[in-house]
Amino acid sequence: MYARMQLRRTFLATVAAAGLVASVAGLASAPAMAQGQPVKIGELNSYSRFAAFAVPYRNGMQLAQEEINAKGGVLGGRKLEIVFRDDGSTPGDAVRVAEELLTRENVSFLAGTFLSNVGLAVADFANQKKTLFIATEPLTDAITMGAGNRYTFRVRPSTYMQTKMLVEAVKAKGVKKWAIVAPNYEYGQSAAANFKKLIKVATPDAEIVGEQFPALGKIDAGATVAALESLKPDGIFNVLFGADLTTFVREGNTRGLFEKRTVASLLTGEPEYLIPLGEETPEGWIVTGYPWDQITDAPHKAFIDAYRAKFNDTPRLGSFLGYSVGYMMRDLLEKAGSTDTEKLIATLKGDFKFTSVAGPVAIRALDQQSTMGAWVGETTKQGKAGAMKNWKYEDGAKYLFPEAEVKAARKE
């Protein structure tokens, strides 16, 4: 018996050792050089840690890739091949993965990332390696402002832009006493800072009566809601999302925090966050989001139908973004006529426009930010599910950072 156990141990040990050897061998083996045909693009994102957003995003991009290739690909018949990698959700892992995409997969350029710090690290890496990086999802203002560089272009409307859209939308209500609740990290803090700045411009006598910064993913909702309630604000600017948001909303609903108050809330209208809210969805919050279920214009509807058919799931904002970026890649390659980094950058900086299903999107050369917009509207309940109403698509071009601020911030 003992001997048999030993034998088994030894066997397991051998197997594990063999695995190790294999992994070391894998490290040393040189990759096959990617020659000629497909145009490879490296896409790294938090597919594992932030799957709720990133997986629909990947789905959307894959759908675009299929359509593009079915229609003859890019650059005169070459296939578009997007190599997807998990970025590990930390800057350290992401930079290594980016390196792998560049050196082993020989991708023409990089795209993706979700978390702001990951996006910034990859942006700087791209700068160092003189490679184009299309930062698709990170919202941080820094990536196009203070930490911006000539190799990095951002697609999604930034924290600043989306906050500005909300401030414009609540302006008419004339709310003066605002409280802010935001997750305690860069995204939350910069959204709060933007809001403070913008609301003063929109409503000169507005004041911020208090702020709450619960730790990301760890909100003590009862205490936070009570703390906000005690400030007796007339309006609440919310930046919470994910599990923090659902907890906060249910607690606030029970305690009547939102009654007779104006609530402006970033991203809450995105299906990623509305679906978990379900019955709990508050009425009349002013939000940015994605009312896919009510979109009727033809190209967009076609995308939604194709997406639902292919993945047997409803689209999220991430799906729209991924799909749009897929076509952006095609248009970029076609217009540049090359995969050469400098040509790609020159193209993006030269009045570049691509067509998204929501309308044409341009890149502003000054801060290398796209003019992709967002849907701004109010939350409402439809049966047991959350939805948006009274929404409209706000073109991002109107909400970009003022040029003077960009010039002051960018260090180029």
Partner 1 sequence: MTAKRIVAAKRDHHLSDLSFLLVQALNGLASASSLFIIAAGLTIVFGVTRIVNFAHGSFYMLGAYFGVTLIPRLLDVSSSFPMFLAGVLAAALGVGLIGVAMELVLLRRIYKVPELFQLLATFGVVLAVQDLVLKIWGPLDILGPRAPGLRGAVDILGHRFPSYELFLIAMGPLVLGALWLLMHKTRFGVLVRAATQDREMVGALGVNQALLFTGALFLGAALAGLGGALQTPKLAANPHMDISVIAEAFVVTVVGGMGSVPGAFLAALLIAELQAFGILIFPKITLVLVFLLMALVLVVRPWGLMGRPEAGQARVVLPEGIVRLQRFGRAEHVAVAAAGVILLALPLVGDAYAIKVAIEVLAFALAAFSLNFLIGVGGIVSFGHAAYFGLGAYAAGLMVTRLGLPMEPALIAAPVIAGLGAALFGFFVVRLTGIYLAMLTLAFAQIVYAVAFQWVEVTGGDNGVVGVWPSRWAGGRTTYYYLALVVVAAAVVLLRRGIYAPFGYTLRAARDSAVRADAIGIDVRTHRWLAFTIAGAAAGLAGGLFAFSKGSIDPTLISIPMSVDFLVMTLLGGVQTVVGPLVGAAAFHSIRDLLMPLTDYWRLLLGLAIIAIVLAFPRGIVGGALLLRSRLGWDDAVARARARTPA
Between residue 113 and residue 142, which ones bind partner 1 under the rule CB under 8 A?
Answer: 116-117, 120-121, 123-125, 128, 140, 142
Nearer to partner 1, 140 or 371 (CB): 140
CB-CB neighbours of 299 under 10 Å: 12
Nearer to partner 1, 219 or 358 (CB): 219
Nearer to partner 1, 129 or 335 (CB): 129
Nearer to partner 1, 16 or 408 (CB): 16
Encoded one letter per residue, x for contact with partner 1 by CB under 8 A and - for no contact, window 4-33 reads --x--xx-xx-xxx-xx-xxx-xxxxxx--
Nearer to partner 1, 217 or 337 (CB): 217
CA distance 349 to 351: 6
Determine the interface stretch with partner 1 among 228-236, 304-312, 334-342, 393-401 (rule: CB under 8 A): 228-236
Sole binder of partner 1 in the list 72, 174, 222, 360 (CB under 8 A): 222
Determine the interface stretch with partner 1 among 68-76, 164-172, 220-228, 400-408 (rule: CB under 8 A): 220-228
Sole binder of partner 1 in the list 7, 18, 201, 223 (CB under 8 A): 223
Sole binder of partner 1 in the list 75, 202, 209, 366 (CB under 8 A): 209
Sole binder of partner 1 in the list 37, 230, 382, 390 (CB under 8 A): 230
Nearer to partner 1, 38 or 276 (CB): 276
Encoded one letter per residue, x for contact with partner 1 by CB under 8 A and - for no contact, window 268-297 reads ----x--xxxx-x-----------------
**Residue ranges in 161-180 that form contacts with partner 1 under rule CB under 8 A:** none
**CB-based burial, 160-194: b 16+ in 10 Å, e otherwise:** bbbbbbbbbbbeeeebebbbbbbbeebbbbbbbbb
What's the chain look like in SS3?
CHHHHHHHHHHHHHHHHHHHHHHHHHHHCCCCCCCCCCEEEEEEECCCCCHHHHHHHHHHHHHHHHHHHHCCCECCCECEEEEEEECCCCHHHHHHHHHHHHHCCCCCEEEECCCHHHHHHHHHHHHHHCCCEEECCCCCHHHCCCCCCCCEEECCCCHHHHHHHHHHHHHCCCCCEEEEECCCCHHHHHHHHHHHHHHHHHCCCCEEEEEECCCCCCCCHHHHHHHHHHCCCCEEEECCCHHHHHHHHHHHHHHCCCCCCEEEEEEEECHHHHHHHHHHCCCCCEEEECCHHHCCCHHHHHHHHHHHHHHCCCCCHHHHHHHHHHHHHHHHHHHHCCCCHHHHHHHHHCCCEEEECCEEEEEECCCCEECCCEEEEEEEEECCEEEEEEEEEECHHHHCCCHHHHHHHCCC
Bridge partners for 190 per DSSP: none
How many chain residues are in contact with partner 1, going by CB under 8 A? 91
Sole binder of partner 1 in the list 78, 79, 250, 353 (CB under 8 A): 250
Nearer to partner 1, 207 or 283 (CB): 207
Nearer to partner 1, 221 or 333 (CB): 221
Length of the chain: 412
Nearer to partner 1, 184 or 390 (CB): 184
State in angstroms the smallest separation of the CB of 147 from partner 1: 6
**Residue ranges in 360-389 that form contacts with partner 1 under rule CB under 8 A:** none
Identity of the amino acid at 61: M
Report residue 133: phi and psi, to 5°: -130, 120
**Residue ranges in 90-109 that form contacts with partner 1 under rule CB under 8 A:** 90-93, 95-97, 99-100, 103-104
Determine the interface stretch with partner 1 among 66-74, 158-166, 212-220, 395-403 (rule: CB under 8 A): 212-220
Q: Is 247 in the site for partner 1 (CB under 8 A)?
A: yes
Determine the interface stretch with partner 1 among 89-97, 154-162, 304-312, 390-398 (rule: CB under 8 A): 89-97
**Residue ranges in 177-196 that form contacts with partner 1 under rule CB under 8 A:** 184-186, 189
Nearer to partner 1, 162 or 371 (CB): 162
**Which strands, in side-by-side order, build the sheet including 177-181?**
207-212, 177-181, 235-238, 262-269, 286-289, 374-382, 385-394
**Residue ranges in 43-62 that form contacts with partner 1 under rule CB under 8 A:** 47-52, 55
Sole binder of partner 1 in the list 34, 75, 202, 231 (CB under 8 A): 231
Sole binder of partner 1 in the list 131, 159, 203, 212 (CB under 8 A): 212
